[in-house]
Amino acid sequence: MTTRIEIDEMRLRYEAAFEVYRLHTVKLIEHSKGGRQPTPQELAAEEEALYELTRLRRELLSTLASIY
């Protein structure tokens, strides 16, 4: 059984992952406004951040679904 504290920790990890992803997208948008192409490293970092955000979201939703 998952405790309330564990769910709160999952939510915090999800929110942190969202913020990391948001910062990557802001950076990519700023580059595109300036006419600059993102580097492969920047694109890879954004992709990894999106993957982690998606993974944590799935984990959180799965946990919540099993409780309620």
- pLDDT, one tens digit for every residue, the chain (68 residues): 789 999 999 999 999 999 999 999 999 999 899 899 999 999 999 999 999 999 999 999 999 999 87
Q: In whole angstroms, what is the distance from residue 27 CA to residue 24 CA?
A: 5
Cβ-in-10-Å burial (0-12, 13-18, 19+) of 65 comes to: exposed
- Tell me what pLDDT residue 67 has: 86
- Tell me what pLDDT residue 40 has: 94
Domain residue spans of the chain:
4-67
For the whole model, what pTM was predicted? 0.88
Q: In whole angstroms, what is the distance from residue 15 CA to residue 8 CA?
A: 10
- From residue 10, give the alpha-carbon distance in Å to each of 7, 16, 37, 65: 5, 10, 35, 14
